[in-house]
Amino acid sequence: MMTRSTSSVSRLAAVLLAFALFAAACGGGSDSSASDTGSDDTSAEVDTGSSDADEAMDDEAMDDDDAMADDTADTVEVIEDEPSDAGPVSGGTLRYILEADVDGINPVSSALSSPGLMMSNAVFDSLVVMDTENNWHPYLAESFTPNDDFTSWDMKIREGVSFHDGTPLNAEAVRTNFETVIADPLVGLAVAPFFPKVEDGAFEVIDEYTVRYNLLDPNANFPTSLSAQLGYVASPAWLAAALDDPTLNQAPVGSGPFMFDGRSEDSVTRFVRNDNWWNGEVYLDAIEFVPVTDPNTRNELFFQGEAQALQTSTQENILELTETEGVQSVLDDTGEEFFVMMNTNKAPFDDIRVRQALTFATPRQNFLDLIGLGLSQPANQMFTPSSPYYNPDVVQEADMPERSGPLVAEYCAEFADNCTDGKIDMEFQWSGPSVVQTRIAELYDQGWNEFFNVQFQELPQDAHIQEVAFGLYDVVTWRQFGAINPADDRVWLICKTIGGLSLNWPRFCDPERDALISELDLITTVDERVPVLNELVEKINQDYLYVFMNHTTWANSFAENVRGICTHTPPDSDAQMRCSTNGRTWHSSVWLDE
């Protein structure tokens, strides 16, 4: 990721999550028509303001951080706008436009796709954070110590931290969070497969500020899994109350830089400054998040001054933002891939011939030209060409309709009830309302309709994600992968996460693929990961589960008076934290220069 200042010409946007215990980024296929350059490049006009940091962190934790670093590390180049002579100042409200809303803001039960994680960054703190070199750092945690075979990890919790309701952060608070999430029927799918049962010792309280995670299998990189949703820690008193009254999921209580003030779902969610935040001064009086699903409308509202910040992943809107004088844009192209995804758990896509036929009939080049505007880097797999894990022998098939016809004819001869007039019946679903997503659907259908009878369905992002989680779909557009530690993408791929509710969205089980992912958990160097990930990518390609389109570029754009966007640091290190991760940014260091 790189940030740079632009100055040219021209003119507010699951049941899931970006699970961070065992996954990094999930999307609901919203407006991901963005491009990705495949490099660790972020283009932005962004002022960094200023930020203080303490001394170097615990040596043992730093050693573990170094082990996780790889040469796909994020690089940041910043060209600052002219800051205020007075430096950071307090006051003002930042209005931030998001691509969608979520069903609640509870890290143990809510559908936290990118917009939900963005709001969570205001109200919650995570146990671990990642820096621009892809190293992990303790955050609410103070240190991590594994046993010899990496099946247990002791975590020391930072002392002196309180939740917004006055409840102290301690080992019992972390225990409540762990036991509540592992019991959740959906979010628990990202946790339970990797731990013994709670009654069998999955989690131990060692003392007031030390806990022990006991894993089913060795994991030398365990702390990276605590850097997002499953690393957020909520008030145990609030969690208990929310179990009795689920409406409280809309009114989160964490330890973060901002406190919940009010929420009108699909309208405005407002947080106000936490004057007692443990990690330093917070400058903004308040931050308001406004969901707007159509990317063109997001840009219009931003340019009209209705907001000072927005997130988007649509190429044409990103171009407009980066070409407009006075707009600061942080572009992160190190995250997810955008693709078509098929449900293998029911007809017709339980048959590989049907998956192949849809793949061959997909007009991928038209998508790249007309939606990606020719600037979108095609995705063949879940790694970009600049990644050491990229497998050059894996190429995404598409634009070969001549290969679809025989497969469809053969299938319909065997399964006539699944076909009409010689074409396979299917439903294609996406999230919206979004003009861009509708255009994408129509474009795909131009290639598919010779072989498939396509029924369209457009749903709000949270409902869209829920239907996919329950397996109530045939084909969808989706946005996923992009974990900083590639092994953390296991939750989307392994057999253990398939059930009535599933995080392995295509519901495809392959024990050989699971074995490769298990290998990754004990590998801490790039060179050792390469052959394993190359084989994994090849297996995914041969199973015809996804039609990869492009690598997503996220833009987080800000008005020219917004400062301190990329200056957040861990409390015990001068390391620079990632400015943007899969569409979400930090808020504690932001201030308004007015």
pLDDT digits (tens, 9 = 90+) for 264-285: 878 999 999 999 999 999 999 9
Query: What angle, 0 to 180 degrees and rounded to 10, lies between the N-to-C axes of helices 171-183 and 236-244?
Result: 30
Query: Which ranges of 20-144 would DSSP assign to H, the alpha helix?
Result: 59-68, 114-123
Q: Which amino acid is at 416?
A: A
Look up tokens 């754009």; give the residue: 557
Taking the C-alpha atoms of residue 2 and residue 78, their distance in angstroms, rounded to an integer, is: 7
Query: Which ranges of 325-469 would DSSP assign to H, the alpha helix?
Result: 352-361, 364-370, 404-414, 435-448, 461-469
Q: Strands 584-585, 554-559: parallel, antiparallel or unpaired by DSSP?
A: unpaired
**Diameter over CA atoms, the chain:** 76
Average pLDDT over residues 84-91: 80
Sign of CA dihedral 317, 318, 321, 327: positive
Tokens of 436: 């861009």
What pLDDT sits at residue 375? 65
User: Does 561 score more than 80 pLDDT?
Assistant: yes
What's the chain's Rg over C-alpha atoms? 23
User: Does 305 score more than 70 pLDDT?
Assistant: yes
Average pLDDT over residues 358-380: 89
What pLDDT sits at residue 20? 30
Taking the C-alpha atoms of residue 508 and residue 486, their distance in angstroms, rounded to an integer, is: 19
What pLDDT sits at residue 53? 28
What pLDDT sits at residue 334? 72
Sequence-distant (6+) residues with CB within 8 A of 32 are 313, 314, 336, 338, 477, 479, 552
- CATH of region 1-117+254-594: 3.10.105.10
What pLDDT sits at residue 60? 33
| 126-155 per-position pLDDT tens digit | 999 998 888 899 999 999 999 999 999 999
Q: Which amino acid is at 27?
A: G
Q: Would you list the domain boundaries of the chain?
A: 1-117+254-594
User: Does 2 score more than 70 pLDDT?
Assistant: no
Tokens of 573: 């290190």
Average pLDDT over residues 386-399: 95
At 507, the pLDDT band (50, 70, 90 cuts) reads very high
What pLDDT sits at residue 7? 31
How many Cβ atoms are within 10 Å of 523's Cβ, its own excluded?
A: 18
Residue 372 backbone dihedrals phi, psi, to 5 degrees: -80, -5
Tokens of 451: 């072989």
Look up tokens 């690089």; give the residue: 75
Taking the C-alpha atoms of residue 384 and residue 376, their distance in angstroms, rounded to an integer, is: 12
**What share of the chain in percent tops pLDDT 90?**
67
Q: Where are the beta strands (DSSP E) in 61-185?
A: 93-98, 128-130, 136-138, 141-146, 152-157
At 386, the pLDDT band (50, 70, 90 cuts) reads confident
Least confident of 106-110, 187-191, 350-354, 488-492: 187-191
Look up tokens 């443990």; give the residue: 278
Computed over every residue of the chain, the mean pLDDT equals 85
Instruction: Specify which of 55-59, 228-232, 458-462 reaches the highest per-range mean pLDDT.
Output: 228-232
134: left (phi over 0), alpha (psi -120 to 50) or beta: left
User: Does 336 score more than 90 pLDDT?
Assistant: no
Look up tokens 């043992």; give the residue: 60
| 46-67 per-position pLDDT tens digit | 433 333 323 222 333 333 333 3
Mapped onto helix, strand or coil, the DSSP state of residue 35 is coil
Which residue in 233, 240, 34, 26 sits closest to 112, CA to CA?
Answer: 26
513: left (phi over 0), alpha (psi -120 to 50) or beta: alpha
| 191-224 per-position pLDDT tens digit | 999 999 999 999 999 999 999 999 999 999 999 9
Taking the C-alpha atoms of residue 111 and residue 95, their distance in angstroms, rounded to an integer, is: 22
Mapped onto helix, strand or coil, the DSSP state of residue 260 is strand
What pLDDT sits at residue 112? 83
- Return the higher-pLDDT residue of 7 and 265: 265
- How buried is 535 (Cβ within 10 angstroms: 0-12 exposed, 13-18 middle, 19+ buried)? middle
Tokens of 167: 């409840």
Tokens of 59: 């040596």
Mapped onto helix, strand or coil, the DSSP state of residue 187 is helix
- Cis-peptide, bond into residue 486, ω within 30° of zero: no
What pLDDT sits at residue 439? 93
At 348, the pLDDT band (50, 70, 90 cuts) reads very high
Q: Are 473 and 343 in contact (CB under 8 A)?
A: yes
Sign of CA dihedral 383, 384, 387, 390: positive
This prediction has a pTM of 0.80
User: Does 43 score more than 50 pLDDT?
Assistant: no
How many Cβ atoms are within 10 Å of 237's Cβ, its own excluded?
A: 15
Mapped onto helix, strand or coil, the DSSP state of residue 404 is helix
Taking the C-alpha atoms of residue 42 and residue 73, their distance in angstroms, rounded to an integer, is: 12
User: Does 429 score more than 70 pLDDT?
Assistant: yes
User: Does 21 score more than 60 pLDDT?
Assistant: no
What pLDDT sits at residue 594? 74
Average pLDDT over residues 291-310: 96
- Rounded (10°) CA dihedral 41, 42, 44, 47: -100
Q: Which amino acid is at 353?
A: R
What pLDDT sits at residue 330? 94
Q: Where are the beta strands (DSSP E) in 195-313?
A: 203-207, 210-214, 258-264, 268-273, 286-291, 309-312
What pLDDT sits at residue 479? 87
User: Does 88 score more than 50 pLDDT?
Assistant: yes
Query: Which ranges of 219-340 would DSSP assign to H, the alpha helix?
Result: 236-244, 295-303, 315-322
Instruction: Specify which of 27-31, 131-135, 371-375, 451-455 reaches the highest per-range mean pLDDT.
Output: 451-455
